[in-house]
Amino acid sequence: MTFHVLILCTHNSARSVLAEGMLNHWAARLGRDVKAHSAGSAPSGRINPLAIEALQNAGIDSSAYRSKSWDEFSRDDAPPLSIVITVCDSAAAETCPVFFGGHSGQPVKVHWGYPDPSNAEGGDAGKRRAFELTRQAIG
């Protein structure tokens, strides 16, 4: 039986995608039957290219990833969720999405607050560093 984990952030373009990639990477590497998914309450419709770059630099294939709404995980055909993790930074006054359940009972809910690497200072180099540091921290 596959253990499904949903990682949420508001726009599903950076932190949640990094977490999806890292969890799927580690699950495969450790031979665990875990499948990570990511979504957002207000998806941007695109994944930040620096998130893709950070995952690719770590050897993680993100070609099938897309920015999507958490509504996909409330449908009858959605995978049964065991854990829902929010990764937005409440210290930065971001609104974190709230997940109200799954069809197989209530999933465990966890919050990991990470600052948005998209807001890092220092131009492109600063943002790239922030994305890589966030990927490492989540990993």
Q: Which residues are part of the catalytic machinery?
A: 9, 88, 96
DSSP string, 5-66: EEEE-SSSSSHHHHHHHHHHHHHHHHT--EEEEEEBSS--SS--HHHHHHHHHTT---TT--
Q: Three-state DSSP class for 4? A: strand
Going by the DSSP 8-state scheme, the letter that residue 1 receives in this structure is: -
For the record, the structure tokens of 127 come out as 């943002």
Phi–psi pair at 27, nearest 5 degrees: -60, -45
